Amino acid sequence: MQPALPTFAAVMDRFAARPCPAPATRHPGFVELGPRFDEALLYAAAAHRQQPRKGTPVPYMSHLLGVTSIALTYGAGENQAIGALLHDTVEDCGNEHEAVIGELFGDEVLHIVMACTDSAEPAGQAKADWRGRKERYIEHLADLPASDPALLVSCSDKVHNAEAIVADLDVLGAALWERFRGKTPEDNLWYYAELSALFNAVAATPGGAVPAPLAARLRTTSHAMAATHHRLSGR
């Protein structure tokens, strides 16, 4: 067994290293991420440590950090940032995590996580048919109030995934679609087009939780995905 690493706080203290100080002036909307966020970061790393991004050697944590970065960039508060870190934990690691997330991080974070979850099965149990799950997920998102904080996290998730698909299409070409077993390219194009329409409608609603620039980013990316696929397939 490897010896336990010293805590970073203890090592910082030994070398008189201090956190970056707050500037004299700071935007009034600044979100200070506290110990709950730190705990969520460790929990996400532990829960997803063995998981790769689909069809790649890239650790899945890259996606969770990417979604969290997008959400914070577009106005997420601490609960939304924590929800972004954990948005796939129940879906990918098992519904046993639902109670853990609720106890550790509270009802609002749990709501965000479950609102971003399209399958909540026990660990190791097969998920339902992909198309049916996605149709129900879209219906579920459409039923949420436009102001629901989960919508920002969900849109951030879809933007990160869609941009990754477009980037990989440019490198791998049509072979990229082989990662998505049991689904056609048209299935994926349908899904992101539907999500884009939904989130842009939320953004157009007064008080909607999704900022218009983020919804537009998903629309642009979903259009680029379709255009790249059609170019590669000669259509």
DSSP 128-162: PPHHHHHHHHHHHHHHS-TT-THHHHHHHHHHHHH
> Which residue type occupies 128?
A
Query: In this structure, how many other beta carbons lie within 10 angstroms of the beta carbon of residue 111?
Result: 17
Structure tokens of 228?
A: 């790249």
Predicted pLDDT of residue 102:
98
Predicted pLDDT of residue 2:
66
Query: In this structure, how many other beta carbons lie within 10 angstroms of the beta carbon of residue 192?
Result: 22
User: CATH for 32-232?
Assistant: 1.10.3210.10
Average pLDDT of adjacent 10-residue blocks, the chain of 235 residues: 79 94 93 96 97 95 98 98 98 97 98 95 87 96 98 98 96 93 93 98 98 98 96 83
DSSP state of 52: B
Q: How far apart are the C-alpha atoms of 118 and 100, rounded to whole Å?
A: 18
Predicted pLDDT of residue 1:
61
Distances (CA, A) of 148 to 143, 203, 219: 10, 12, 20
Predicted pLDDT of residue 200:
98
Distances (CA, A) of 169 to 87, 179, 182: 25, 11, 18
Predicted pLDDT of residue 234:
77
Given a contact cutoff of 8 angstroms between Cβ atoms, the answer to whether 194 and 109 are in contact is no
What does pTM read for this prediction? 0.94
Predicted pLDDT of residue 45:
97
Given a contact cutoff of 8 angstroms between Cβ atoms, the answer to whether 162 and 221 are in contact is yes
Given a contact cutoff of 8 angstroms between Cβ atoms, the answer to whether 195 and 138 are in contact is yes
